[in-house]
Amino acid sequence: MIRHLAAASLLLTTACLAIGPAAAADPGITDSEILIGDVEPLTGPPALLGVAASIGHKIAIAEANAAGGINGRKIRYVLEDDGYVTARTIQGVKKVIDVDKVFAMLGISGSGQSIAVMPVLEKSGIPTVIDVAPVKFLWEPPRKNVFVVGQSYEEGIVHLVNFLADKNPGRKWGLITQDDDYGITVRDGFDSVVKAKKLNVVYSGNYKKGQQDFSSDMLQLKESGAEVFLAGGIIAENIAMMKELEKLSIKPVTGIFWPGRIEPVLKLMGPAGDGIYAVDYVEPFAGAAGKAFLEKAKPLVSEAEFKGINRYTMTGYAAAKVLIAAIERCGKQPTWACTISELEKTKNVETGVMAPISFGPGVRFSNQKLQIMQADAATLSFKPVD
């Protein structure tokens, strides 16, 4: 009898351990709602990406809720502002996980912030889909519960520089980058193509984050005789650079990276921005997919939010769609373990704003297809080139 009892106890204990904490109701889920958390920069200059990404999450959530929610449960979005300050990102993520007790996470802020918060995410085990700033560290090595939608900065730069190099053989090159992790990534990608294609780099500048006047930098670029220019600024920096080049009466073939590929930038650059090239993995708003997305978004967000839509809204939307679909596939009683398992099974999920998204066993990065676009100052839009 005692032997039977001991065996039963052992079996029960083993079963509990096997199911793990997920079997006990995971946080953030009630009979009527599921909580999804996010931490973004909603104030300060990077709010441009944080606010836009959060609007993308809201659109996907509103769309799902309008269709009845996730298996009858409405989704509630818990959003925190980190002001792009890493300490506040960590604080914010801890708050949404421990205090708000969300079921899953989206976002999260910039690349440095996502990297810093990784130990918290890993330790908690919460299903997370990162969409704002894809950098290799986030998926190499793969973490069980963290998935990344997008393309790496390095690949983006390599794709852009390769395109410009093939289109402009034998030309002199100029590059300017920011003095931070973003700038290092841009420079590393650029250098790899320079080495492979033996590009002739005649100007290489490095500016301090926050610099607003680029008169001496662009004058140096002009003096160097550069004919192809990779503007490694983000938003205001690229605008300032292009306007300086206009003042100096030169117009090199210019490439910019996707963080600065937002339509209002073209308005501020004016004629100086016409014809600049950009690389991205989300659809341009001028294309059919972009227009369809805007049509879909219009009734789901406020007028102010609609005005705040940019490319980050598309990345946020795609990530939220993937997460919602994974939770949905878990049926009536979704758990963290099931959601993570379903995220891993994500295969060719269509979002309409980028190429189909897939993950896989041990693959936590969606590796989106890149495309080159060119600015059209007349219509203030980017149009696909290849």
Partner 1 sequence: MQYLIQLLISGLAIGAIYGLIAMGFAVIYKSTGLVNFAQGEMTMITAYIAWTISTTVSGNVFVVAAGAILAAVLLGLIIERLVMRPMLGEPVFATVMVTIGLAVILRSAINFIWDAYPHGLDIGMGRGIVHLGSIGVRTGQLAVIATLLLLLAAIWAFFRYSKVGVAMRAVAADDRTALLMGISATRVHALAWAASSVIAGIGGVFFALSYDLSPAMFQLGLKAFPATILGGLDAVLGSGIGGLLIGITENLAGGYLGSGMKEVAGFAMIIVVLMVRPFGIFGERDIERV
Q: Which residues lie near partner 1 (CB under 8 A)?
A: 42-48, 51, 176, 179, 205-208, 210-213, 215-217, 219-220, 223, 235-236, 239-240, 243, 246-249, 262, 264-265, 267-268, 307-308
144 vs 247, beta carbon nearer partner 1: 247
165 vs 230, beta carbon nearer partner 1: 230
Q: Reduced to 3 states, what is the DSSP secondary structure of residue 17?
A: helix
Q: In sequence order, what are the beta bridge partners of 231?
A: 176, 256
- Min dist CB 248 to partner 1, Å, is 6
Nearest to 103 by CA among 324, 295, 353, 373: 324
146 vs 240, beta carbon nearer partner 1: 240
211 vs 358, beta carbon nearer partner 1: 211
- Min dist CB 77 to partner 1, Å, is 19
147 vs 382, beta carbon nearer partner 1: 382
Q: How buried is residue 12: exposed, middle or buried, by Cβ count under 10 Å (0-12/13-18/19+)?
A: exposed
Q: Give the count of beta carbons closer than 10 Å to the beta carbon of residue 19.
A: 12
- Min dist CB 51 to partner 1, Å, is 6
- Min dist CB 63 to partner 1, Å, is 24
- Min dist CB 268 to partner 1, Å, is 5
Contact yes or no for 120/145 (Cβ under 8 A): no
Phi (first) and psi of residue 145, to 5 degrees: -105, 5
Q: Reduced to 3 states, what is the DSSP secondary structure of residue 210?
A: coil
- Min dist CB 16 to partner 1, Å, is 48
DSSP 241-305: HHHHHHHTT---EEEE-GGG--HHHHHHHGGGGTT-EEEESB--TTSHHHHHHHHHHGGGS-HHH
51 vs 161, beta carbon nearer partner 1: 51
Q: Is the dihedral of CA 43, 48, 49, 55 positive or negative?
A: positive
143 vs 172, beta carbon nearer partner 1: 172
* Token couple for 18: 């096997």
- Min dist CB 55 to partner 1, Å, is 12
Strand arrangement of the beta sheet that strand 74-81 belongs to = 74-81, 33-40, 104-107, 128-130, 146-148
Amino acid, single-letter form, for residue 168: N
- Min dist CB 224 to partner 1, Å, is 12
Q: In sequence order, what are the beta bridge partners of 130?
A: 107, 148
28 vs 46, beta carbon nearer partner 1: 46
* Token couple for 113: 């912030």
